[in-house]
Chains A and B, each alone.
Chain A
Amino acid sequence: MSGPVLRIDDLQVLLRTREGTVRAVNGVSLTAYPGKVLALVGESGCGKSTTVRAVLRVLPPGAQVTGHAWFGEHDLLRLPGSALRRIRGRHIALVFQNAVASLNPTRTVADHFRDTVWAHFGLRSILWRSLAHEALQRAGLTDAGSILSAYPFELSGGQQQRVALALATVLQPAVLLADEITTALDVTTQALVLDQLRAYARTDGLAVVLITHDLAVAARWADELAVMYGGMVVEEGPVKTVLSRPAHPYTALLIACQPRLDSVPHGVPPGGVDSPPEGERCPFLPRCPQVQPRCRTEPRPPLVGDGRRVACYAPCDEAR
């Protein structure tokens, strides 16, 4: 296997809000490999979106970011703006959660593609149309001609979502950060899009970071799984291992609350995190069903292990 293409190292993000400073991401380290799909799961507010937005520095003004995001020999968090601009979209692309809002209402789909290609190729962008057709096909839109001449409001939610995905892959980037791209799609289209995305990742060596709250999506399409809680990665490893034998109590609860046909969900659905926990203790401590005495006295557990890594002092039985 070739080396990692994107390595996030000890990422910390502080967001300034009216109520005070929020520690949205608290020491996240992730690695994306070419040709692989890394799924990032966790409840709302756990820092998934903030993590990927921090990589391309598209956070709201006033956000403080520390740590590293290595792309090749470039640290994206320290790169000057002009150099970062050339990487955005060209080498690392980000698809936003809300596709309906991520397209400019006054411009046609063709304008979006032309703009994006122009931003990186300038006068060499005369071939944008064939690139756009290719990207739209890849995103499962066969009627590329009429899609291109349409304004965003003339497309359905699913079409807009796929246009946004196509727009992000039009320049064949090395990394795709996909923030809940299939939420607006029905299950059939979701399967189609994710099948094609994974096939494309395999053939072209695209590294995909797939943010989702749907464990079924992660189970079917991801290679690696990282579970986030309270701004931290609490468990990480090959998707089958993590889902079949969860080691962190939070992962176990998350899996248990998935509805099943053959049984009543018996887990507790995760509630909202009132205030992001401070750095000293395990973030899951207030809600953990199996708290050990040392959890209350020692600093938050490090992410340790070989292959599958878990941040817990008392991992579940199956993992031992």
Chain B
Amino acid sequence: MQTPPEVPTVTSTAATLGPVRLSHARRRTRFHPGTGALLTGCALLLFLASASLLAPVFTPYDPLATDASITELPPGSPGHPLGTDTLGRDLLTRVLYGGRVSLSVGVLAAGLSLLIGTAVGAVAGMSNPVLDALLMRTVDALLALPLLVVAIAVQAVTDPSLTNVVLVIGITGWMPVARVVRVQFLALRQRDFVRAAVALGTPGRRIAWRHILPNALPPILAVTAFQVSHAIMTESTLSFLGLGVPPHHPTWGNMLTAAQQHLLTGQWWTLLWPGGAIVLTLLAVNLIAEGLRQRGNPYAIRGER
């Protein structure tokens, strides 16, 4: 007769598993997830901003002063660590001073787009079909309006200033944000948890803020991060048309535009520094967006992606 196979006892299994822990009983981790990304992004942005503001401390040169004797110095030259451009202007100086314009335009114009776009998109997504259609056809109409036409019209009636650049970019850039926000609101409004909140008597404004917006955040943040790079590059176009800063005044956008022709003649570094500065800015903005996104993501908060 065969012996029955050995059956593991329950106690031995329990002993190897140790005490059972419920996943939701776990407390919040010491830091919110995304705190690292958020802080790194903020620190990087702060570093770029303070370097621009404190430019005179780091460099003795005038960003506009040309010197025919030191044109096209490569990076690492004595006195000019990042080299000089074809007119003999120190590139470190120009990148630092250029950040003043580019950073403020990038952050402010994108912020303006975010505010207008979210407000319009949320109203359109929450309200009745008539107002929704009205707002969205307005968005379509504004999207059909070329940026340069608006820019030239604004330039015709006002003096060139940085404020105008921010306003023009902000006012022409919010439509994609509004579309994304509206679609998110329309989709989330149909979800059962929003209906359940309505059935429990939650006021409409609270529904929009507490129930819909947090769930709509990831795509909104993604579009906004994209808006920053768009604003930095558009600024150079607008300045070229005479709406913003004078053309010889350094900004990352116009340095990059001017460097395109030098690339063929071998002065690669004139392209590298402003381009690198823009990349760092976008990295900072995306880190902040990622940090914010993770802070709103319950799976990440519990440490399970």
Contact = CB atoms under 8 A, between A and B. Distances in A.
B81 interface: no
A288 B19 CA distance: 60
Secondary structure of the B contact surface, majority rule? helix
Contacts of A167: 196, 200
Contacts of B193: 101-105
Given A104-B211, A104-B215, A116 B200 contact: yes
Given A88-B198, A88-B201, A116-B201, A149 B192 contact: no
A105 B212 CA distance: 11
A106 B215 contact: yes
A120 interface: yes
B59 to A, nearest CB: 47
The size class of the interface chain A forms with chain B is: 35 or more
A111 B25 CA distance: 16
Given A102-B193, A106-B215, A149 B24 contact: yes
A168 B199 CA distance: 9
Interface in B285-305: 296-299, 301-302
Interface string A74-105: 00000000000111111001101010011111
A61 B129 CA distance: 10
B298 A119 contact: no
A90 B234 CA distance: 53
Contacts of B203: 85, 119
A164 interface: yes
A119 B198 CA distance: 10
Contacts of B214: 104, 106-107
Contacts of B210: 104, 107, 111, 115
B198 A58 contact: yes
Given A89-B199, A101-B192, A151-B302, A106 B23 contact: no
Contacts of B301: 151
A146 B25 contact: yes
Contact of B298 (A58, A60, A102, A106): A106
A115 B209 CA distance: 12
Contacts of A119: 200-203, 206
A115 B197 contact: yes
B200 A96 contact: no
A85 B201 contact: yes
A146 B201 contact: no
A106 B199 contact: no
Query: Which residue, of B27, B196, B215, has the highest number of chain A Cβ atoms within 10 A?
Result: B196
B199 A58 contact: yes
Nearest to A100: B192
A174 B104 CA distance: 57
A106 B296 contact: yes
Interface of A: 56, 58, 60-61, 85-90, 93-94, 96, 98, 101-108, 111, 115-116, 119-120, 146-147, 149-155, 164, 167-168
15 contacts: A88-B198, A88-B200, A89-B199, A96-B195, A104-B193, A108-B298, A115-B206, A115-B210, A116-B201, A119-B201, A119-B202, A119-B203, A149-B27, A164-B196, A168-B200
Give 6 closest A-B pairs by Cβ, nearest first. Answer: A150-B24, A89-B200, A89-B201, A154-B24, A101-B192, A102-B196
